[in-house]
Amino acid sequence: MTYALLLQDSPDRQRLASAIAAVLSVPIESVDVAEDGDDNRNWKAPVICTVTSIGGDLRQSILIYVADTSGENISQEIAAARLAERLKTPVAYEAMPIPPDMYWLVGADGRRSRARINDDEDDGELVAFRVEAVEQPVAGAPDLPVGPVPEVIHSHRIPTPLTDQFRGSPASDGTGWVVVSRLASWEIMITRLIEGWPPDGWYPAEYYRDDLGYRDDLVTGVGELPDEVRGDFAEVLATLDRRFAQATVDDAGRALAAATGPVPDRWWWHRITDPLPWHDMPGG
C-alpha cells in the first residue's frame, strides 16, 4: 500500500515516524523516515516514508510505502485523517487523477474539505503548493480562502443509459453526434437533479444555465437526425422532459434570472428545483 500526502507543517523525522507508526498500528522501529535522496536508510523496513520539503501552503510531501504484511490496511482517506489528528496539522491527498488540482484537505480535527491546490514550478521543478480554495473552513488553517470548487462536478461520472442506445447508431453519424452529445448532457443534468446534485449536493447556477441551453439545442437538433432514428430519439427526449418536469417547480425563471441574467421564454427555463441547486454552494 502506498500513501501520497501533503502536510502543512514540517514535523521532524522522529515525530513523523511516531505518528506514522500510530496511524498504521506498527512499532516505531518498523518505520524508516528519510529525506528524498538520502540513501543512508533502512530499505528493509516494513514501512518506508520518503520526505520532500517544498514551499507554499503545504510544506512537506511524504510518500509512505507499506509492505503487504505490515500494519493495518487502511485507505488513504483514513490514513490522512489519522495523521492530521496525530500531528495536529492539515493533510492533503489527491481526490482524483483528473483534474490534477483537485484534493481533499483534512483539518487537524480529522474533518475534510474539498480543495483546489495548484503547484508552482521553476524551470520544470516543483517549488511550492498553493491552496487556491477550500469548500469548508479547515481546522489548523484558518486563513485559507473558502469558496466553491465546482470543477469536480463535471469529473463525477453520471451514466446515460437512455442516450447510450444512440451512440454508434445512424443518429451519431455526421453532425448527429453533436445532437446525441446534447441529449447526453440533458440526461446527465436530470440524473444529477433527481439524485440531489452529486457529488456534494449543490450545482452552480452557471452550470444549470448551460444545461438548459443544451436543451435548447435539441429543439432543432431532432430534425437533423436520420428518419430511421428520429422517432425513437424524440421519444427518449420526451421521457427525459417528463422526468425534469416532475422533479422541478415552475417559478417563471425568476431564480435563474436573478443569478445569471434574463432567460429565454421556453418552459424548461421556467423550472427549477426547490431548494435551488446552488442553495448549499460553498461560500454562498
Instruction: Report if residue 243 sits inside a domain.
Output: yes
Poorest-confidence range of 82-86, 122-126, 180-184? 122-126
**Sorting pLDDT into bands at 50, 70 and 90, what band is 262?**
very high
- 105, 133, 149 — which closes off a domain? 149
Residue 172 has pLDDT above 80, yes or no: no
**Sorting pLDDT into bands at 50, 70 and 90, what band is 100?**
low
Give me the pLDDT at residue 193, please.
Answer: 98
- Provide the whole-model pTM: 0.84
Q: Which three cell numbers stand for residue 176?
A: 448527429
What average pLDDT does range 37-51 have in this prediction?
Answer: 92
Instruction: Report if residue 108 sits inside a domain.
Output: yes
Residue 97 has pLDDT above 80, yes or no: no
What average pLDDT does range 174-200 have in this prediction?
Answer: 95
Residues 39 and 145 in one domain: yes
- 86, 120, 149 — which closes off a domain? 149
Instruction: Report if residue 141 sits inside a domain.
Output: yes
Residue 189 has pLDDT above 90, yes or no: yes
Give me the pLDDT at residue 274, please.
Answer: 97
Instruction: Report if residue 279 sits inside a domain.
Output: no
For the chain, the domain total comes to: 2
Instruction: Report if residue 283 sits inside a domain.
Output: no
**Which range marks the domain in which residue 193 is found?**
153-272
Nearest to 145 by CA among 119, 121, 115: 115
Tell me the average pLDDT of the chain.
93
What average pLDDT does range 266-270 have in this prediction?
Answer: 99
Nearest to 277 by CA among 186, 156, 194, 159: 194
Residue 4: strand, helix, or coil: strand
Residues 133 and 182 in one domain: no
Instruction: Report if residue 179 sits inside a domain.
Output: yes
Give me the pLDDT at residue 98, please.
Answer: 61
What average pLDDT does range 67-76 have in this prediction?
Answer: 84
Show the CA angle centred on residue 147, arms to residues 143 and 151, nearest 5°. Answer: 130
For residue 125, list its beta bridge partners: 122
Give me the pLDDT at residue 120, please.
Answer: 87
Report whether 131 contacts 102 (CB < 8 A).
no
Residues 105 and 163 in one domain: no
Give the rounded percent of residues in the chain with a pLDDT score beyond 70.
98
- Residue-level length of the chain: 284
Mean pLDDT highest for which of 86-100, 111-125, 224-238? Answer: 224-238
Q: What are the start-end ranges of the E strands in the chain?
A: 2-7, 31-35, 47-53, 55-56, 60-66, 91-94, 102-106, 112-122, 125-134, 249-250, 271-272
Helices marked H in 170-273:
176-194, 205-221, 227-246, 254-260
Residue 223, Ramachandran bin (φ over 0: left; ψ between -120 and 50: alpha; else beta): alpha
Residues 144 and 7 in one domain: yes
Amino acid letter, 71: G
More confident residue, 169 or 263: 263
Residues 137 and 187 in one domain: no
> How many CA atoms, within 13 angstroms, populate the side-chain half-sphere of residue 168?
2
Residue 232: strand, helix, or coil: helix
Q: What is the pLDDT of residues 109-167, one digit of tens each?
A: 999 999 999 988 777 778 899 999 999 999 999 999 999 999 889 889 999 999 999 98
Separation between Cα atoms, residue 226 and residue 185, nearest integer Å:
21
Residues 138 and 21 in one domain: yes
Separation between Cα atoms, residue 1 and residue 207, nearest integer Å:
38
Residues 231 and 125 in one domain: no
Separation between Cα atoms, residue 88 and residue 107, nearest integer Å:
8
Separation between Cα atoms, residue 209 and residue 87, nearest integer Å:
44
Instruction: Report if residue 282 sits inside a domain.
Output: no
Residues 142 and 182 in one domain: no
Instruction: Report if residue 284 sits inside a domain.
Output: no
The backbone torsions φ and ψ at residue 149, rounded to the nearest 5 degrees and listed phi first, read -125, 75
Residue 129: strand, helix, or coil: strand
Give the rounded percent of residues in the chain with a pLDDT score beyond 90.
82
Residues 100 and 203 in one domain: no
Q: What is the pLDDT of residues 196-211, one digit of tens each?
A: 999 999 999 999 999 9
Q: Which three cell numbers stand for residue 127?
A: 517549488
Residues 38 and 145 in one domain: yes
Residues 49 and 144 in one domain: yes
Residues 165 and 135 in one domain: no
Separation between Cα atoms, residue 45 and residue 145, nearest integer Å:
40
- 116, 149, 182 — which closes off a domain? 149
